[in-house]
Structure 1
Amino acid sequence: MRVLLVEDDEMLGDAVKTHVHRQGHAVDWALTRDEAEASLEAAPYDLVLLDLRLPDGSGLDILKALRARRDEMPVIIMTAHDQVSDRIAGLNAGADDYLVKPVDLGELQARIHAVARRYGTHKLPDLTIGGVAVYPSERRISAQDGEEVLLSSREWAVLDRLIARKRAIVSKSQIEEALYAFGAEVESNTVEVYVSRLRRKLGKDAIETVRGVGYRISADAT
């Protein structure tokens, strides 16, 4: 998923961004209402993590504007406002969930997964590649011996793009697009590097190369 984090507390924002990024999601961070609105105009997002009290306005106005234009993008409010009336106002404005600060990162992760399942966001099929079981929505991979296989955020981005088109060939440029969401420069050999890393972790036959065209998940994947 591509997530927009709207949070003016730099310590909390950095912690949330790092945690969500480690779960395999691309995260853009806005510290003000103006920055958030500019980001929403510039890029498509799958989820917004929204603080209500911002230095230049209310996050609630961002939410209301989204819903006024019938944008159903999932929004989870994160705020120090712990009054029941504040929660009701947020939910009535169209929030999908509400977390009171200090935010527990484990709970935040669970809420993100719940919202993603509800909306079908990032809902990719589970599959087995060789003896490796891949569960994209849970960000979990289990090897034949039961050991967990760990992927970086960018490795997940590449694997997600391949799984999303399981029986089709995915071009190098399409994989590059998935990596651009993380804001890092994509060099000429970046895709090859990540495909090589995935093969080391999932098995050398997990990803097939279709020379001159692109890549695809092994035809034996089920």
Structure 2
Amino acid sequence: MRILLVEDDHLLARTMLDMLRQDQNTVDWLDDGQQALTALNNEHFDLVILDLTLPRLDGLDVLQGARQAGNHTPVIILTARTELNEKLTGLDAGADDYLTKPFAMAELKARIRAVTRRGHSASGDAEIRVGQLRLNTSSGQLMVGHEHAVLPRSEFQILHYLMRHPGQVATRRRLEEQLYGWDSGAESNALEVHIHHLRRRVGKATIRTIRGVGYVLDPDAVTGDTPCH
């Protein structure tokens, strides 16, 4: 899961980054409200953890701006504001949950699980289907016809993105962001290695290389006889 953390308390943010990444999440961190709204308008995230008191643009304004633009990414608000009306204002603006500082990381993780479960329930399914491919977004299990396997995190992140955008070219940069966020330092051929492993599962023709640009998932190339293990 790719998470956007928007928090201007750097000490708290670094602690949260370490804890969230332990659960195999890709976590991007911003400490500025205007940057957060720009990121939400231009990138895909599975969850946003949003502080309310931020430089340049308040967290509520970030949330309202994202919702007005049609962004329905689940949002958990974090704040030191304890008044009930602040909580109600946040929920009315479109937040999915609300956590008051200070909080235990175990509670935040429980809220994350609850919010993401609700998101799956709202959509009616925790599964994405493209052609003969079926990907369970909760368990990470891939099914191709009658074959199935649980994907490693990196392969899941790549295939999850490609299956959300079938037939569309995904640039190398966009796929690497799904794996590493905005952090650099990944080996130059790491993406190719993960794509190679995925092709062994879904069929070489299913994920086509667009030279010099990136990759595209071709749903018509998948057959039920494609190996998945």
Structure 2 length-normalised TM: 0.64
- Say if 1:64 and 1:94, in contact at 8 Å, map to a contact too: yes
When residues 195 and 52 of structure 1 are mapped into structure 2, their CA distance, relative to the original with a 3 A threshold, is same
Q: Match of 1:106?
A: 109
Task: Note if contact 1:161-1:178 (Cα within 8 Å) is conserved in structure 2.
Answer: yes
Matched, 1:180 2:206: no
Give the match's secondary structure for 1:54.
coil
Whole-angstrom distance in 2 between the partners of 1:213 and 1:198? 11
Partner residue of 2:52? 52
Residues 1:159 and 2:144 aligned together: no
Q: How many Å apart are 1:149 and its aligned residue?
A: 5.9
Supply the distance in 1 between the matched residues of 2:156 and 2:74 (Cα, whole angstroms): 21
In 2, Cα distance between equivalents of 1:193 and 1:162: 16
Q: Which residue of 2 aligns with 1:37?
A: 37
Contact map agreement 2:74 2:116 (CA 8 A) in 1: no
Whole-angstrom distance in 2 between the partners of 1:30 and 1:39: 9
Structure-1 residue corresponding to 2:213: none
| d(CA) in 2 for partners of 1:61, 1:155 | 35
Separation (CA, whole Å) in 2 of partners of 1:209 and 1:88: 51
**Residue pairs, 1:118-157, within 5 angstroms:** 118=121, 120=123, 123-125=126-128, 136-141=136-141, 151-152=152-153, 154-157=154-157
Q: Could you report, residue by residue, the CA deviation over 1:53-79 in whole angstroms, capped at 9, with x for unpaired residues?
A: 224453112223334445444322122
TM-superposition CA deviations, 1:165-189 (whole Å, max 9, x none):
8xx8x79x63733223433477774
Structural RMSD (CA): 4.2
Partner of residue 209 from structure 1, selected from 197, 204, 213: 204
Residue 91 of structure 1 deviates from its aligned partner by 0.9
1:206 to partner: Cα distance? 2.4
Q: CA deviation at 1:139?
A: 4.0
Identity %: 28
1:93 maps to 93
CA contact (8 A) 2:21 2:27 kept: yes
**Cα deviation 1:7-48 (Å, max 9, x = unaligned):** 112233234334444555543211122322332344344432
> Which residue does the alignment assign to 1:81?
81
Q: Which residue of 2 aligns with 1:219?
A: 224
Q: SS of 1:4's equivalent?
A: strand
Alpha-carbon distance between aligned partners in 1 of 2:207 and 2:119, rounded to the nearest angstrom: 35
Instruction: Tell me if the contact between 1:24 and 1:156 (Cα under 8 Å) persists in the aligned partners.
Output: no
Structure 1-normalised TM-score?
0.65
Equivalent residue letter for 2:64? K
